[in-house]
Amino acid sequence: MSLLKKLAWAGAFAGLALGAWSSGAAAQSADEIAAEAAKKYAGTEITVVWEAGLQSLDPLNFSGPLWEKLTGMKVKVIEVPTEEMFTKIMQEYRAGTGAYDALNVIPSWMPDLAKAGALEPLDSYVDKYKYRDELQEIAPTYRDNQMTVDGKIYGFPDDGDVFIMYYRKDVFADPQNQADFKAKFGYDLAPPTTWKQFDEIGQFLTDKFQPKMYGAAFFRQAPYAQLMFQERFRNEGGKFFDPNTMKATVNSDVGVKVLTDMRAENKFMPPGVETWGFVENLAAFMAGQTAMTISWPPYGRWAAGYGQDEKALNWVPKTQIAGKVGYALPPGGHPQLALGFALSVASTSKHKDAAYLFIQWLNSKAISTQRVQLPYTLRDPFRVSHYTDPTYLSRWPDAKDYLATLKLASETGLLDLSILQTDKYEEALRQGISALWGGEDPKAILDKIAAQWDAITEKVGVDKQKAAYQGWAAKSGAYPQM
């Protein structure tokens, strides 16, 4: 780490520490302060924008009714599909109707939304309602990467999304598999820490067990696979842009190697894996048809059988591998944080204090600890205390290993690319991934992506985007800390 980076980190830490100290020792916890202050808004109805589907069961079934019981405030949930959330938030902001009060935003959207003025800066509310102390307890990866734009707080990280590896520990520990693998490769069969090892293990297990079981499978649909590309590209030393010129460097030799390797690995995965999404990959792993996969934290809970009695999870395949699943970091050791959600307040809200108090309460240590254990939603641990919560540790026999791995992943996780108009850059990546499965040449794909990225940068403004990129690249989770 350079001296300048060390000084920047030290300054940032000092600022946070000073903020925590200056708020003083709170007589009440943050959830209690929020609920007490919100009582004066009893009878007020606030609207919250939430991802449609399972995620919305949290405010609909749990947190919304509980908040109303505590404060008398009502919560109206506006369910919006993920792919429409950014557009709807921006449309409402431009219309200025005040239709939205509290918002769920994906952290990579935050620079665009904040710079447009759609998000309310939260620092004054944090101080007014004494929340700085509890904010410091959010795991550093999420706190330092997903909360601020240009030094101002615009959202509270509220979902510890991160990719981790799930593997069949019974298959890996089998003595005959151990002996056969070591005889062939000269090292012990264990969760791979490099992509070379992953390839060797995956091919070995497929050769031995197909078609009953394959060595591995991933979701390969472009929206998911572009996130996996972002992760692997940086783990192998790739950089997205030249920070001085803002010219795209995604078409480097590293990028070509990653795309080439990704396609080659499909050969030891189940037939048709190129079209697999979240559910197809989940179903194969839960049925015991694949020995390794990488995904978000719910895979780990569901594979253990947690929450499978919930009606809302009827669509999740019944696990055939409970008690047989191990957890590890993906090869490279720096997993993609991969989306996540943050809680924000709409700048056009007519009930800003009320909306703020609701999101402080939701995000507080006491309430968030309950929310991340709701089996029917997709909120994942994001506070230091979540990883050691005694109740969570007792949820299933291997929960301690699961939470320990999530904690480790949070400490080394990589932030999604997050600059101005990020989705346009990611759309080029998505198109590139689709072309990869279609058989196009990896170098040609990446040259096309780089040209598209350069055109987007020119349209945004090179200097404007350079400042956004340099701000993002300076964050702890932008590139692996070697």
Q: Taking the CA of residue 208 as centre, how many other CA atoms within 13 Å lie in the half-sphere pointing to its CB? A: 20
3 state DSSP class of 152: strand
Q: Are 181 and 209 within 8 A, CB to CB?
A: no
C-alpha distances out from residue 147 to 55, 59, 77, 334, 371, Å: 20, 21, 23, 20, 19
Q: Where are the domains of the chain?
A: 30-160+339-387
Tens-binned pLDDT, residue by residue, of the chain (482 aa): 333 333 333 333 333 333 333 344 446 899 999 999 999 999 999 999 999 988 899 999 999 999 999 999 999 999 999 889 999 999 999 999 999 999 999 998 999 999 999 999 999 999 999 999 999 999 999 998 899 998 999 999 999 999 999 999 999 999 999 999 999 999 999 999 999 999 999 999 999 999 999 999 999 999 999 999 999 999 999 999 999 999 999 999 999 999 999 999 999 999 999 999 999 999 999 999 999 999 999 999 999 999 988 888 888 999 999 999 999 999 999 999 999 999 999 999 999 999 999 999 999 999 999 999 998 888 999 999 999 999 999 999 999 999 999 999 999 999 999 999 999 999 999 999 999 999 999 999 999 999 999 999 999 999 999 999 998 999 888 999 86
Those residues whose C-beta lies under 8 Å from the C-beta of residue 110, and which sit 6 or more positions away, are: 119, 146, 149, 154, 155, 342, 344, 418
Give the count of beta carbons closer than 10 Å to the beta carbon of residue 253: 12
Structure tokens at 154: 């615009």
Q: Of all helices (H) and strands (E), which one includes residue 325?
A: strand 325-328
Which CATH topology does 30-160+339-387 take? D-Maltodextrin-Binding Protein; domain 2 (3.40.190)
